[in-house]
Amino acid sequence: MVLPRHFHPHHLELLKEAAVIAEEVTSEFYKLSASHWRRARYDILTLKALRAEEISPHALALVAKYGGQPQDRLLRSAAFDFYRVCLQDHNILKTLEHCRDLSLFPLLLYIVTHELVHIVRFSQFLALFESPEDHKPAEERRVHGLTRKILAPLKIQDLSPVIQYYDDKLQGGWQYAHL
């Protein structure tokens, strides 16, 4: 069976559920208040809403960083970073087609949690968004380890194969993607 290129409404419902859980467990792990997410603003977008430069032929998701400033504020001190979690529907659905032991909800939960860990690390200056290429594999391993810790207490059916999938990808030289 060939899966669609874009998420359908039932995929988006699973994504909403995964995003709520991911933000909750990430906030709990890092002891973040609601005000942290107002400072580290982000959005989660699927393929239909992405700009051409945010689409990847291989990544399941990537983080893009943009600068923002409220229109009514002139001072530079009002500027803020804005992150976009760019989900790559086409690659996620293709992965599910090829890796039959993976399920969509736990995969989305892992992906969103992983990308939120990146955003927390960037916003707290624990990692540089514009880091040198040779630092990126170590950061990716670090973020995967943190994502594993964050998700470990959850009793989510079919999460173990997703963790194993990413363990295997890391051993194979996983690509780190952000714009």
Q: How confident is the model at residue 76 (pLDDT cuts 50, 70, 90)?
A: low
What value does the mean pLDDT take over residues 71-82? 72
Helix (H, G, I), strand (E, B) or coil at 106: helix
Beta carbons within 8 Å of 43's beta carbon, 6+ residues apart: 82, 83, 84, 85
Nearest of 147, 168, 176 to residue 18 by alpha carbon: 147
Q: Is the pLDDT of residue 176 over 60?
A: no
User: How many CB atoms are located within 10 Å of the residue 134 CB?
Assistant: 7
pLDDT at 12 over 50: yes
Q: Could you report the per-residue pLDDT of 137-168, keeping only the tens digit for each? A: 889 999 999 999 999 999 999 999 999 999 88
C-alpha gyration radius of the chain:
16
Quote the pLDDT of residue 172: 67
pTM beyond cutoff 0.75: yes
